[in-house]
Amino acid sequence: MVSAPSNPAGRARRRTFTPAQKLKYLSEYETACETGGGNAFLRGEGLYSSLISEWRKQRDAGLLEGKQPGEAVGRPSREQAEIAALRRQLAKAEQKLATTEMALQIMGKAHALLEQLSESGGHRPDAETPLMDAYRELALAGTPTRDAAALTGVPRASAVRRTGRERRPDREPPLPRPAPANKLDCDERARVLAVLNSDEFVDKPPLQVYAILLEQGQYIGSVSTMYRVLRENTQVRERRRLATHPPRKIPELIATGPGQVYSWDITKLAGPVKGVYYDAYVMIDIFSRYIVGAIVHATEDGILAKEMMLDAFGIHGTPQVVHSDGGPSMTSKTVTTLLSDLGVTKSRSRPHVSNDNPYSEALFKTMKYLPDFPERFSSLTAAREFLDEFVNAYNHHHRHTGIGMHTPADVHYGHADAIDRDRDTALDQARRAHPERFGTRAQTRPKILDRDPAAWINQPPADELQLAA
């Protein structure tokens, strides 16, 4: 018998940043901005530009210095906020001044080269090289490309095209498998990346970018293409403040006989009018598939579930393990206390994993797919009568494929072995009478009539079972 797993320790945690990490990210972001890669850095690290703005305010106000991990940063006072704003204005002014001085130096060199060309009788094509060099230097120095184009007289579109051609990486040797005909080329992929990393779209996912561009009359690629380009540049990271949930242990249960493991669940039955439902409480023995408890109530409640369990345990005995999903009645204090007092191990399915409770799910599907299953029940009494008739037919007349075409009652009460012997005798007589009609060499029972020696919930791989043995 494999015991049920205990609840995993640990709580879900959201992504947090220490003051040291904030300072580190700010430094790396500002370094990346110097080369025009700030937006790419944000996507690569899974950060929003709003976080950078907030952290800058905290840094400028002196709230990040000398803080220990876990220590609250707090909000800046009015005086601190004013000082931080003045610091930002001063930093911008100094940066603008440095950019202006650098631009003057670059343009001075460019004009000197142009004067030399003019004196030597050079032509326009000869002047394009120093002008393009000046444009690149201005752009690297932080001058906006529009201003750099105006200062140098180089058309902005031409400068962008030439820069793109020069930065284009060498093509790799051709692969045996040709590229798809509809694949974007390098320029198009670079454009996709540039649009996604632009100030307008850096904080938006590709799906929203796709919709906004279409509304603007632009199409640069599909949503999948955008994700593919971002993935190639390692810029796909989860940026939302999602909680990281601890891993859930897979429940592994085995029953080698009746009365060891019970599984139970609650399903809805449609009432006489829309919006009215009845709740069917059903408990099943996973080894024999025998329904040991079933009742219909107007509501779902842990106290009603406790009453159903007490009736089932009183008739069929107390099991070693009771398995269920994580519904409110299953996790209620009433049910938990009852199982604890009786010494029954409580097993629970993982969230949103229906395969962890397969026996109850299969039972409900069998019931609801019956030809005479009503679309609606006229009353609570009608629902109870139907469930009672179904339980009797299922337990005593339904031949179940999972237990060798026996009825659950035959397996539950130990009659299956005698029935198997009667079946084998009938098969032997048929083989002797008409051997040509049986292709199997050995006198074996058909697989459809075989019964597994154990019933599992999430049976581990064979190699793990061998190691455990």
CA distance linking residue 4 with residue 321, whole number of Å:
7
- Read off the pLDDT of residues 246-285 as tens digits, 9 standing for 90 and up: 777 888 999 999 999 999 999 999 999 999 999 999 999 9
Mean pLDDT of the residues in the chain: 84
Check residue 169 and give its pLDDT: 63
N-term to C-term CA, the chain? 13
CA distance linking residue 183 with residue 227, whole number of Å:
14
Domain spanning 253-412: CATH 3.30.2000.20: no
Bridge partners, 406 (sequence order): 400
Check residue 4 and give its pLDDT: 45
Residues in the chain: 469
pLDDT of 444 over the 80 cut: no
- In percent, the amount of the chain with pLDDT more than 70 equals 82
pLDDT of 170 over the 70 cut: no
Q: Read off the pLDDT band of 410 (50, 70, 90).
A: very high
Would you report the helix, strand and coil content of the chain in percent, each value rounded to 5? 50, 10, 40
- Read off the pLDDT of residues 15-50 as tens digits, 9 standing for 90 and up: 888 888 888 999 999 999 988 889 999 999 999 999
Check residue 217 and give its pLDDT: 92
Domain boundaries, the chain: 186-232, 253-412
Mean pLDDT comparison of 73-77, 102-106, 198-202, 296-300, highest-scoring range? 296-300
Check residue 73 and give its pLDDT: 59
Check residue 268 and give its pLDDT: 96
Write phi, then psi, for 2 (nearest 5 degrees): -95, 125
- In percent, the amount of the chain with pLDDT more than 90 equals 51
pLDDT of 409 over the 80 cut: yes
CA distance linking residue 65 with residue 63, whole number of Å:
6
Write phi, then psi, for 270 (nearest 5 degrees): -65, 135
Query: What's the longest Cα–Cα distance across the chain?
Result: 117
Q: Read off the pLDDT band of 5 (50, 70, 90).
A: very low
Check residue 7 and give its pLDDT: 47
Least confident residue range of 11-25, 51-65, 164-178: 164-178
Least confident residue range of 16-30, 104-118, 157-171, 259-273: 104-118
Neighbouring C-alpha atoms within 13 Å toward the C-beta of 221 = 23
Measured from the Cβ of residue 192, the count of other Cβ atoms closer than 10 Å reads 20
Check residue 425 and give its pLDDT: 92
